[in-house]
Amino acid sequence: MVELVDETGTPTGQAEKLAAHVAPGRLHRAFSVFLFDADGRMLLQRRADGKYHSPGVLSNACCGHPLIGEEPVVAAARRTREELGFDPALSPAGTVVYHLELAAGMTEREFNHLFVGRIDAACAPDPAEVSEVRFVTPAELAALRPEALSQWFPVVWEAARGALPAELADWR
């Protein structure tokens, strides 16, 4: 289940996760996590081929949906631990609302809470969620073909960039 919200993030109800993603979609709460290593490189994950939408594409370190009533930062830390196998320290990086049409009649209509953090531990990705992790520099990210990335990545990344700490100024 996902928490349905209005354009201000106020809860309006609940829906089954898949139903909220079938076009035309329903606006619901989500989160996106961006992680950086000690060298200032961004962690990207390749979504597992078994994902119900957007399989096999690169995206930010972790994204998902809070449980009903769960604080977004708690959900983001929980899902990062479940997907990547370590506990991140996360800082809020704002919110963004978007509506994207995906393949096969799927859609993303999300009120997305953004978080940034450091990765200072080894990853142990859950293969049901993540098929690959890689660290990239700003130049390496810019060199990726747009279709190699999830459709929501440019939207959430652009919204999060302004909240990066000073030591990640190369990413702004």
User: What is the CATH number for 105?
Assistant: 3.90.79.10
Question: Within a domain: residue 28?
Answer: yes
| Contact assessment for residue 64 and residue 2, using Cβ atoms and an 8 Å cutoff | no
Q: Output b/e per residue, 9-24; b: 16+ Cβ within 10 A.
A: eeeeeebeeeebbeee
- When divided into structural domains, the chain yields a total of 1
In one letter, which amino acid is 32? S
Question: Within a domain: residue 107?
Answer: yes
Question: Within a domain: residue 171?
Answer: no
Single pTM value for the model:
0.96
What average pLDDT does this structure show over 2-23?
97
CA distances from 57 to 14, 15, 28, 47, 93 (A): 28, 26, 22, 6, 23
Question: Within a domain: residue 132?
Answer: yes
What average pLDDT does this structure show over 4-17?
97
pLDDT of residue 103: 83
Question: Within a domain: residue 149?
Answer: yes
Question: Within a domain: residue 170?
Answer: no
Tens of pLDDT, residues 21-71: 999 999 999 999 999 999 999 999 999 999 988 999 999 999 999 999 999
Question: Within a domain: residue 37?
Answer: yes
pLDDT of residue 57: 97
Question: Within a domain: residue 16?
Answer: yes
pLDDT of residue 164: 95
CB within 8 A of 166, min separation 6: which ones?
A: none
d(C-alpha 3, C-alpha 42), whole Å: 29
Tens of pLDDT, residues 95-142: 999 999 988 889 999 999 999 999 988 899 999 999 999 999 999 999
pLDDT of residue 53: 83
d(C-alpha 144, C-alpha 170), whole Å: 17
Tens of pLDDT, residues 82-105: 999 999 999 999 999 999 998 888
d(C-alpha 94, C-alpha 155), whole Å: 13
Kindly report the backbone phi and psi dihedral angles of residue 17, in degrees, each rounded to the nearest multiple of 5, phi listed first: -55, -50
pLDDT of residue 112: 98
Report whether pLDDT(150) > 90. Answer: yes
| Contact assessment for residue 31 and residue 66, using Cβ atoms and an 8 Å cutoff | yes
What average pLDDT does this structure show over 149-154?
96
Question: DSSP labels for 123-157?
Answer: ----TTTEEEEEEE-HHHHHHS-GGGB-TTHHHHH
Report whether pLDDT(16) > 90. Answer: yes
Preceding omega of 154 cis (within 30 degrees of 0): no
Among candidate residues 3, 63, 83, 108, the one labeled active-site is 63
- Residue-number span of the structural domain to which 107 is assigned: 2-165
Is 63 one of the annotated active-site residues of the chain? yes
